[in-house]
Structure 1
Amino acid sequence: MVKGELLASRIPRMRASEIRELLKLLDQPDIISFAGGIPDPALFPAQAYRDAMAAALADDISGVALQYSLSDGYGPLRDWLAGEMAKIGISCGRENILITSGSQQALDYLGKLLLSPGDTALVGWPTYLGALGAFNAYEPRYDRLQPGENRPVADVAAAAEAAGGRVKFAYLSADFANPTGRTVDRAGREQVLDLAEALDIAVIEDAAYQALRYDGEAIPPILALELARRGDIEACRTIYCGSFSKTLAPGLRMGWVCAAQEVISRLVLLKQAADLHSPTINQIATHIVARDHFDSHVPKIREVYRRRRDLMLAALAREMPEGVEWVRPEGGMFVWLTLPEGMDGAMLLVQSLGSERVAFVPGHAFYADGSGRNSIRLSFTLHDKAMMDEGIARLGRLLRNSRPA
């Protein structure tokens, strides 16, 4: 048995994900879950993957699909991704792309690469729970990143120095953020770049939901805006993290990082030390499916999720009591609810599971300081109209019968 005194000092900062725990509820058939941000499995391109896996193994004389491979990733997949990045204003080559085991692995590597104990990470308030989980292991201090606020740069730097470190990066999901569903406008993205330049820090752009836009005009990614300023990706400080989990299938754990070669080369060293490379057969199959089906598949899932978002928003408008507010997302998978002051999302969840049998994620899990207790996150990706209406009706009944503490 490994005794507690043998554990590293970082271990107390590592906690179980509330979302991962809530996913266990999906096995209970009477639970209506708005908890996990889970793609609908009925929309997975399963047959395309069956065919792609067979193609990857067919006549594989050299055993490429089942063999050790480059840590950087499968070349044809990286080439395809470079082409996709060019479509959104990011001119790069395969040397600027690293394949990771999901974008979650990319966040872990970036925390390891950039953070020393006591350094400051600028994050949203709230922000993605998985990012906090990835960064926590490297013992950072957190400070607020709120595009649109005019907080003096000197104050941000001074607070970090007083805590015994320096600001290392700004992390944000600019499109349909998890958990709030909000999108940072172009002016806000430019402001983040100005802040990063003034502090001389990196920007980590989490683009997991970028392809899932349902309304409005697309806004250039932060990396595209910086590239327009600097003219060359090798001069950019923004690190773009992408994922196939929300567009093709999460179970294959396929993500990527796009950045200057200097950053990629250092991340490759971390990849070599961690798992050598992401599974080669998964990379080959994902390349085949992406190459042949991505452009036709993604519009289909956008249309389904757009309808389900609209169903949830309509149900909320009917069922929510006075004092409850929510965000209308232009894309993504989530609606963020702000409850009256004094309500506690975690306590409501306990009540809900006991009486209404509806699951959601308490909002405090997304705050680095544990605040935001009067908020909850709902996901709209899994349910048809009947289940959506029933689940939101139960949630409305719960809130009407609850009183602020």
Structure 2
Amino acid sequence: MSIGETHYATRAAKMRASEIRELLKLLDRPGVISFAGGIPDPALFPTDVIREGYAAALDAGGAALQYSVSEGYVPLRQWLVRHMASIGVPCTIDNIVITSGSQQGLDYLGKLFLSPGDTALVTWPAYLGALQAFNAYEPRYDRLAPEHGNTTPAAYRMAAEAAGGRVALAYLTPDFANPSGETLSLDGRRRALALADELDIPVIEDAAYQQLRYDGEDVPPLQALDVAAKGGDIDRSRVTHSGSFSKTLAPGLRIGWICAARGVVQKLVLTKQAADLHTPTINQMVMHHAAEHAHAAQVAKIRAAYRDRRDHMLAALLRHMPAGVSWTRPQGGMFIWVTLPEGLDGAELLARAVEQGVAFVPGRAFHADGTGGNSLRLSFSLADAAAIETGIGRLGALIAGAAQAAA
């Protein structure tokens, strides 16, 4: 007898294919202009420095190819201590654990904090990868809206208890969020932390895009605000900061990190020991080399390139989108969130858009409750000015036609 649905754990029912991963296949299709994946431009990767890093790691002896500690490569963690200090978070290497990309970090945090039936507070919309990571641990979701007004702590608790669990965590991408591109204000961040204090829950700060600011003033990370409120003691902070080198240096090395109170890091280290022992040592050594020798220049380079592409896309949207369509104007990151007129569906539009040679991600996948059908996410990181103009022109014409047909 073959293995069938009855053999799988209950959590398997919540595992869904990523619409983004599937759409990435369109990148290889001739003639399709893809605004789908939030993918760094490989032409901007610091390949020379990475090549040097691999040579240096191999020349240093066998350590690069050997088993290593689960916490991560010490020099890389020391670099991250300095980086976290630069954004307002004093810590030590005991507050840092290296993960195989920030996606692994989200999975570990879901495993650590969520029991079946617990409630996770997330924004509407929220990063699809986080929802996928958390889904394996069988939570329910409630809406978090620190910018526009949250439900009261008592209401969150009552709803969670009625569902048979507790409010277990809050998850936020405060800077240039995937998918909306929006940035949480300083007041919004303080409201989110105050809510977490009242509910006595951990806060997961997804900082994947934190370094990609193109306009405006920096806003302190949630963890920096919380540590400051706790007398400068990170071990009293309820915020776990999930960072990544994927959007700045190179995603293929799969290097992320979590900065958190030592007690949380110790639990995450045990989780990593059980999962994959450690992130590949050679990749950590190479990333440390790249961070030491190229990080500042690389961030400056990609900020300039992506700022220009964002500006081109915003200008193209203004030229080509019909009345009734609105969109965000991000100060950084890789995404613009488009809201269509009521009655239009992003998934239905995508099928026709691909036929016209343009791709995007429909918005429903980013909503834990299945709403958001009349929205879509556009990424500007991988397209040049000509492709943006052509692709947005095609998309605007399709939306205008669909709106006219629905009227």
What is the CA distance between 1:229 and its match in structure 2? Answer: 0.4
Partner of 1:68: 67
Q: For the residues of structure 2 that align with 1:36 and 1:203, how far apart are their CA atoms?
A: 26
Partner of 1:253: 254
* Counterpart AA for 2:141: Y
* Counterpart AA for 1:361: V
Partner of 1:309: 310
What is the CA distance between 1:153 and its match in structure 2? Answer: 1.1
Measured against aligned partners, the alpha-carbon deviations of 1:165-194 in whole angstroms (never above 9, x if no partner) come to: 000110010000000000000010011110
* Counterpart AA for 1:85: M
Measured against aligned partners, the alpha-carbon deviations of 1:187-236 in whole angstroms (never above 9, x if no partner) come to: 10011110001000000000000000000000000000001100200000
Measured against aligned partners, the alpha-carbon deviations of 1:56-107 in whole angstroms (never above 9, x if no partner) come to: 00041xx110000000000000000000000010000000000000000000
* Counterpart AA for 2:223: L
Partner of 1:267: 268
Partner of 1:126: 125
* Counterpart AA for 1:96: N
Measured against aligned partners, the alpha-carbon deviations of 1:369-404 in whole angstroms (never above 9, x if no partner) come to: 110000000000111111110000000110111134
Q: How does 1:121-160 map to 2 (within 5 A)?
A: 121-148=120-147, 149-160=149-160
* Counterpart AA for 1:143: D
Partner of 1:357: 357
What is the CA distance between 1:12 and its match in structure 2? Answer: 1.0
Native 8 Å contact 2:54 2:282 kept in 1: yes
Measured against aligned partners, the alpha-carbon deviations of 1:289-344 in whole angstroms (never above 9, x if no partner) come to: 10111011110100000000000000000000000000000000000000000100
Q: For the residues of structure 1 that align with 2:390 and 2:36, how far apart are their CA atoms?
A: 15
Native 8 Å contact 2:144 2:150 kept in 1: no
Partner of 1:190: 190
Q: For the residues of structure 2 that align with 1:129 and 1:34, how far apart are their CA atoms?
A: 16
* Counterpart AA for 1:347: E
Q: For the residues of structure 2 that align with 1:151 and 1:372, how far apart are their CA atoms?
A: 20
Q: For the residues of structure 2 that align with 1:150 and 1:160, how far apart are their CA atoms?
A: 15
Partner of 1:221: 221
What is the CA distance between 1:2 and its match in structure 2? Answer: 1.6
* Counterpart AA for 2:341: P
3-state DSSP of counterpart to 1:402: helix
3-state DSSP of counterpart to 2:97: strand
3-state DSSP of counterpart to 1:53: helix
* Counterpart AA for 2:183: T
When structure 1 is superposed on structure 2, of 268-277 and 378-387 the one drifting more is 378-387
What is the CA distance between 1:140 and its match in structure 2? Answer: 0.1
TM-score (norm 2): 0.98
Partner of 1:12: 13
2:44 counterpart of 1:43: yes
Native 8 Å contact 2:363 2:372 kept in 1: yes
3-state DSSP of counterpart to 1:401: helix
3-state DSSP of counterpart to 1:49: helix
Q: How does 1:269-288 map to 2 (within 5 A)?
A: 269-288=270-289
Partner of 1:204: 204
* Counterpart AA for 2:164: G
TM-score (norm 1): 0.98
* Counterpart AA for 1:160: A
3-state DSSP of counterpart to 1:378: strand
Q: For the residues of structure 2 that align with 1:255 and 1:384, how far apart are their CA atoms?
A: 28
Q: For the residues of structure 2 that align with 1:87 and 1:50, how far apart are their CA atoms?
A: 27
3-state DSSP of counterpart to 2:241: strand
2:32 counterpart of 1:31: yes
Change (3 A) 1:2 1:122: same
Partner of 1:115: 114
Q: Any stretches of 5+ residues in structure 1 without a counterpart?
A: none
What is the CA distance between 1:151 and its match in structure 2? Answer: 2.1
Q: For the residues of structure 2 that align with 1:91 and 1:373, how far apart are their CA atoms?
A: 42
Q: For the residues of structure 2 that align with 1:365 and 1:279, how far apart are their CA atoms?
A: 31
Q: For the residues of structure 1 that align with 2:289 and 2:27, how far apart are their CA atoms?
A: 31
Structure 1 runs (4+) deviating above 2 angstroms are none
3-state DSSP of counterpart to 1:257: strand
Q: For the residues of structure 2 that align with 1:81 and 1:212, how far apart are their CA atoms?
A: 17
* Counterpart AA for 1:205: E
Q: For the residues of structure 2 that align with 1:205 and 1:21, how far apart are their CA atoms?
A: 26
3-state DSSP of counterpart to 1:322: coil
Partner of 1:243: 244
Measured against aligned partners, the alpha-carbon deviations of 1:215-273 in whole angstroms (never above 9, x if no partner) come to: 00000000000011002000000000000000000001000000000000000000000
Q: For the residues of structure 1 that align with 2:217 and 2:244, how far apart are their CA atoms?
A: 21
Q: Any stretches of 5+ residues in structure 2 without a counterpart?
A: none
Identity across the alignment (%): 63
What is the CA distance between 1:150 and its match in structure 2? Answer: 4.3
Partner of 1:329: 330
Q: For the residues of structure 1 that align with 2:64 and 2:197, how far apart are their CA atoms?
A: 42
3-state DSSP of counterpart to 2:64: coil
Q: How does 1:97-112 map to 2 (within 5 A)?
A: 97-112=96-111
Q: For the residues of structure 2 that align with 1:126 and 1:4, how far apart are their CA atoms?
A: 30
Partner of 1:374: 374
